[in-house]
Amino acid sequence: MTAELVRGQNHPLAQTRLEIRVSVGTPVVAGATLGDEHGTVRGAERVAHPGAPTLPGLEVSQQAAADHRMAVDLEALDDEVHRVSVLLALPLATQGPSRFAAVAAPFVAVTGLDGTEIASYTITGLGVESAVVALELYRRQGAWKIRAVGQGYAGGLAEMLADQGLPEARQLAAVIQDAIAVGASRSVAAPPPRTGDDARVRTSAPGPAGGPAPVDGQQPLAPPQSAVGGAIDYAHPRRQSTAPPPPPPAAPPAAPGEPARPVAGDATGWSMDERLYNQVWGMFEDLARTIAAYRSAVDFADSRMEQELDRALSDPRGRIGSAGDQAREEARTKREQLVERAREALDRDLAQLTAESEVVEPALPPAYARWDNPVWHAYRAPMELPMALRIGDLHLPEQPELRIPMLVRLPLERGLWIDSGRTGFEEAAFMDPDRIKGLAMDTAVAVAARLLAVYPAHEFAVHVIDPAGSAAVRLAPLTRAGVLAAPPAAGAAGVSEVLARLTQRVDLVQMAVRGGAGADALPPGVDTAEQLLIVNDFPHGFDDRALNQLRYLADEGPSVGVHLLMVADREEASEYGPVLQPLWRSLLRLTPVPDDHLADPWVGHAWTYEPPLAPPASRILEQVLGQVGAAREAGPR
């Protein structure tokens, strides 16, 4: 059965000798790039285009044309090639359209050498872009897959090639356009016509540019990207080296016919922490696309059944009697067969991902590990800051037992908001309001504890604003361990004092940065450590001045090391109306109970988020905070 892909979806490849067919309806340039495991194209010799149409394992058309056929032999590619990206661009040397919005949606199909269609993708949602990465063939754990990409570039070929890391992108783009200018456009045979029986109901899944509306008004969940919807960039923000990382560890040999055995840290990276970070994001991507493929297949099966029933029963004589019953039964049987095959593929992929999770989870370092991971029992204050922090788990309803760590990069690039209200998520709708607020504060303490634990001693300070003192019991793990910079601030005067101090720190550090001065130029007493402000029961205790200072910290603080962790019920601040809309949008909303509210921009899933709470009756959080407190008492910075 042909897989009709939507943006971000992938599909396994059982064949290695393929043909890629492109149909646009207007002459376009078609090419392909050969990338390494990061998707980086090392040089112009790794680009097949009309001026250089043949590479080992790859051949493309020599002219701009409305229809193209590319030949791919995956076995003939060099070992260092892990990604084949199919590129389309509008030629500049013609009088034709200059943007894809003015042409029919490009159609791309991957077929076997006998013409059997394996997968297809119609690229929708393009606008001012004049170049697009249509799809890619990529290698993962020794197997090849197809991924529908559909990433457009308004800057054309030059921008697209530069995004893939090609150093001479602009020069090569000019060479390609020159090769088109001296040639004549021609057409080759189009892909076989799609009959009524083969028609697919395309499931719209707009990508990041016009992507899924973030649930509850939140920003979509996505791993770090070099551009919106572009290739994922796993580079550490503090690493200056551009040398390739060492290769990942080799997987142990598997029995013939068996999938490769998973290995913890089998992604690329300069350290095991970075390899595990990359591997976790790979698991997230694979689960997202596996579920998307299954849901798309079920939607297709339902649509096909409805179409067959409509055709069979369009004749009034077939609506009653045995003929009508037989038509209904046949349509339902076909639907069940399609769903069963899709479920078999889903179960196979989920089994592989579950096996990988069972290997990866125990190997995670403290920054990425759950509280129940034994690694916490051997915890010692770190000397260096890790790449990321786990702030919860993510899962989808098709396999709720398979949980993917939700990792955020460090230092934090945006503030966090723990929603203590009862609206917006089903789990809390009928819970006691005080219980919800208590769970929200527990979540905030757990997140703060993890941040304190993964930062080197004395390089992270936590402040608390608790205007009415209502969170004193929940804050006890932090106060008893002595890890707070000062006792929780209460009352309007306490709120004003803390906000004024942190606002002044932001101003001073910003001025020093703009002036090119170092930390030694700051006035005495300015704490240069990263700062976290926990705000409880907002907006109680806040006047207009305090409100403006809080918004200023949310906007300007992260860039100079001041971060916000809000515990708030949005409804309680509704009297401020649209004034606070920018504040809520600037924060990543988390929930104190499991809730499916985090959206990803690839396939539009709503991921269920679970907060990073310690197991009931566990003392691990207090033990870790005790270690943090002891490290701080050991000596000054």
Question: How confident is the model over 507-552, as pLDDT tens digits?
Answer: 999 988 888 777 677 888 888 899 999 999 999 999 999 999 999 9
User: Please, where are the H alpha helices in 21-122?
Assistant: none
User: CB-based contacts of 121: which residues, under 8 Å, 6+ apart?
Assistant: 4, 5, 6, 7, 107, 108, 109, 134, 135, 148, 150
- Tell me, yes or no, whether 380 lies in a domain: no
Which stretches of 324-441 are assigned E, i.e. beta strand? 388-395, 404-409, 415-419
Kindly report the pTM of this predicted structure: 0.64
Last residue of one domain, picked from the residues 358, 375, 392: 375
Residue 395 lies in a domain: no
Calpha distance 465→566 (Å, rounded): 10
Q: Are 443 and 515 found together in one domain?
A: yes
What is the count of structural domains for the chain?
A: 3
Same domain, 155 and 287: no
* Domain match, 444 and 505 both: yes
- Residue 292's closest CA among 131, 459, 145, 141? 145
Q: Are residues 369 and 417 in the same domain?
A: no
Among residues 329, 360, 375, which one ends one of the domains? 375
Which of 191-199's residues contact partners 24+ apart within 8 Å by CB, and which partners?
191/21, 191/23, 191/67, 191/107, 191/109, 191/111, 191/117, 192/115, 192/117, 198/2
Residues 414 and 369 in one domain: no
424 and 361 in a single domain? The answer is no
The pLDDT value recorded for residue 596 is 82
Q: Do residues 9 and 295 lie in contact, with contact meaning Cβ atoms separated by under 8 Å?
A: no
- H/E run at residue 585: helix 581-586
304 and 161 in one domain? no
Does residue 439 sit in the same domain as residue 364?
Answer: no
Whether residue 232 lies inside any domain: the answer is: no
pLDDT at 167: 87
CA nearest 247: which of 38, 41, 47, 388? 38
Residue 256 placed within a domain:
no
pLDDT score of 235: 45
- What's the mean pLDDT when you consider all of the chain? 83
pLDDT confidence of residue 425 = 62
Pair 478, 527 in one domain: yes
Residue 261 lies in a domain: no
Residue-wise pLDDT for 542-571, tens only, equals 999 999 999 999 999 999 999 999 999 998
Say if residue 467 is preceded by a cis peptide, omega within 30 of 0: no
CATH of the domain at 587: 3.40.50
Domain identity same for 366 and 489: no
Q: How far apart are CA 195 and CA 2, in angstroms?
A: 13
CA–CA dist 557, 336 (Å, integer): 55
Q: Residue 246 has what pLDDT?
A: 58
Residue 587: inside a domain? yes
Q: Does 219 have pLDDT greater than 60?
A: no
Asked if residue 420 and residue 326 are part of one domain, the reply reads no
pLDDT score of 258: 65
Give the CA-trace dihedral at 29, 34, 39, 43, to 10 degrees.
-90
C-alpha distances (whole Å) from 470 to each of 269, 421, 434, 441, 621 are 45, 16, 10, 10, 21
**Residue 477 pLDDT more than 50?**
yes
Q: What is the pLDDT of residues 451-475, one digit of tens each?
A: 999 999 889 999 999 999 999 999 9
233-291: per-residue pLDDT in tens? Answer: 444 444 444 455 556 665 565 556 666 678 888 888 888 889 999 999 999 989 988 89
Over residues 39-57, the pLDDT tens digits come to 899 899 999 998 888 899 8
Residue 196, in any domain of the structure: no
Is 264 within a domain? no
> For residue 169, what is the domain's CATH number?
2.60.60.30
Contact (CB, 8 A) for 494 and 464: no
Give the range of the structural domain holding residue 141, as residue numbers without chain letter.
Answer: 3-190
Task: State residue 475's pLDDT score.
Answer: 97
Residue in 350, 368, 362, 442 with CA at minimum distance from that of residue 405: 368
Whether the Cβ atoms of residue 23 and residue 66 lie closer than 8 Å to each other:
yes
Note the pLDDT tens digit of each residue in 277-330: 999 999 998 998 889 888 888 888 888 888 888 877 776 765 666 777 788 888
Per-residue pLDDT at 194? 33
Q: What is the mean pLDDT of residues 121-127?
A: 88
The tokens 């990465």 sit on which residue? 133
Of the residues 169, 190, 211, which one is the last residue of a structural domain? 190
Provide the pLDDT for residue 198: 34
The reply to whether 484 and 437 lie within a common domain is: yes
Report the greatest alpha carbon distance in the chain: 92
pLDDT digits (tens, 9 = 90+) for 373-428: 999 999 999 988 999 999 999 999 999 999 999 999 999 999 999 999 876 666 66
For the chain, give the percent of residues with pLDDT over 90.
50
